[in-house]
Amino acid sequence: MIITIASDHAGYDLRQIVKKHLIDKGYEVIDGGAQSADKPFSYVDAGIKVATDVTSGKADRGIAICGTGIGISVVVNKHKGIRCGLCCNEYMARMSRQHNDANVLAFGARVVGQALATAMVDAFMDEPFAGERHAVRVGQIGDIENELYK
């Protein structure tokens, strides 16, 4: 499975930790966004990178990190076909996959610590989509996108 990960400067240090964690677990990782924590980098550009990699099929799932996770999740969710869950605990990361078939996980580097970030990533990567009644709702989301993105 190929995972794309990008961040702004606020998320740079945590992105490096999450990227190593993913590689150690055997995932192929596409890295993007800020090149350091010291030079400002827009969460908008980082979010576009993640969303584009996922919607193009270059990556199977994405992880988007900024200071709070809010800005980057808004950007990522502007793209047709993206279901990005802004999560702050393992339960939310698990449910974003199980109930919403989320293909991008977003979180804030100033909100969660390293251990929680990697635990959320594991929950997001390991949890399957439950389908059934949830598939109906995900289908409704797709219908809305198809109507709005004509």
Q: Catalytic residue numbers?
A: 66, 99
Measured CA to CA, the distance from residue 69 to residue 7 in angstroms comes to: 9
Place of tokens 């990227």: 19
Measured CA to CA, the distance from residue 127 to residue 51 in angstroms comes to: 20
Cα–Cα separations (whole angstroms), residue 17 to 7, 82, 145: 12, 24, 34
Cβ neighbours of residue 74 under 8 Å, at least 6 residues apart? Answer: 47
